[in-house]
Amino acid sequence: MNQKRIGKRTIKLNNRPTIIAASSIVGPKEGQGPLKDKFDLILSNDLYGQKTWELAESKMVQTVMEMSVRKADKTLDDVDLLFGGDLINQLFPASFAARELGVPFFGIYGACSTMAEGLCLGSMAIDGGYANYVLAGTSSHYCTAERQFRFPLELGTQKPMTAQWTVTGAGSVLLSSQGSGPKVKYIVPGKVIDKGISDGNNMGAAMAPAAVDTIYSYFDDTKDDPNSFDLIATGDLGKLGKQIVIDLLRDMKIDISNVYTDCGVEIFDIEGQDVHCGGSGCGCSASVFCGYIYDKLVKKEFKKIMLVSTGALLSSTSTLQKQTIPSVAHGVVIVND
């Protein structure tokens, strides 16, 4: 008998993992945004003392994971498992960070949904009794993502107004089988949804249907009240994708507008920083959750939140082969009991 399933998609964690620490790093541009006081470290430049942007991104995610362990007064030897990933080919930044950390490593790829995906998998590992301490984290870097998915930065290519700015940032959490703090109560694994969007400069529209599918599934499964949440935050849909989510859910008789935001909207001053539709990238929801949202949870200013990180599962190869953009969104409900 399966006692951990509610409805078709939602998983209830009977042994709720506690998020005992979280850490965040952002780049200089993100450090000028409205959440600048919520991050542990703001870089003075995008190279972070490294020879390449990819190595800088790897150092970022390694640093936030080490920070989270230190904040919890633990050592890396105490950590049983590490779930990490990023946008770059073969998970270069996460894998090289794991090489230095020396913790058993699961490399995961959910594009920009990777933060919530790591929270889901890490929480299940603890709930199932397979680990006592789990690190989960991810990163992105404007320069690494632009080089891989779009154009060389030197070209200075003009972006359309539907485009978003890949966040230079990283975030990590340390999950524990015991301890005080915010706890993961439910997870909602995402389905891959593709509504036929093929424009890589319109990620919000491509990913919004996946976020809608996951959020709707949670409320359909649990019959919960959207207004019981202090915050429902999607990952990196930006200004356009955020409005699409609100409109589509209203059509499905669910109104989250009073409690809903998007991490890509929150991290930048959209009008003042010239980021078009807002932020994107794995580091977007990771840094906003591990900085701003976690701080609110610890202070009990938030008692119940849902994080729905969103990911566009395209690649440079699929784009050249004229494929549309499949997307996924993983949901995590976190509570202060």
> What's the pLDDT score for residue 160?
61
For tokens 């995008």, the residue is 46
Q: Which helix (H) or strand (E) holds 286?
A: helix 282-288
Q: What's the pLDDT score for residue 277? A: 92
Question: Which residue type, as a one-letter code, is found at position 242?
Answer: K
Domain termination site, one of 118, 152, 176: 176
Residue 49 and residue 191 in one domain: no
Residue 154's pLDDT is 66
pLDDT of residue 153: 67
Low-confidence ranges of the chain (pLDDT < 70): 1-2, 151-158, 160
- Hey, what amino acid is at 187? I
Domain boundary among 117, 152, 176: 176
Q: What is the domain range of residue 322?
A: 184-335
Same domain for 154 and 301, yes or no, is: no
**DSSP state letters, 14-53:** SSPPEEEEEEEEE-TTGGGSTTGGG-SEE-SSTTTTSSSH
pTM: 0.96
CA atoms of 105 and 103, how far apart (whole Å) = 6
Give residue-wise pLDDT tens across range 226-248.
Answer: 999 999 999 999 999 999 999 99
Rounded CA gap, 107 and 98, in Å? 9
The single residue listed with the structure tokens 């945004």 is 33
Residues 131 and 10 in one domain: yes
Instruction: Look at residues 115, 143, 176 and tell me which one is the last residue of a structural domain.
Output: 176
Q: Say yes or no: 222 and 255 in one domain.
A: yes
pLDDT value of residue 201: 86
Q: 168 and 249 share a domain?
A: no
Can you say whether the dihedral through the CA atoms of 276, 26, 256, 120 is positive or negative? Answer: positive
The pLDDT tens digits of the residues spanning 15-43 come to: 999 999 999 999 999 999 999 999 999 99
Indicate whether 276 and 145 sit together in one domain. Answer: no
55: left (phi over 0), alpha (psi -120 to 50) or beta: alpha
Listing DSSP states for 49-75 in one string gives TSSSHHHHHHHHHHHHHHHHHHHTT--
Domain at 86, CATH number: 3.40.47.40
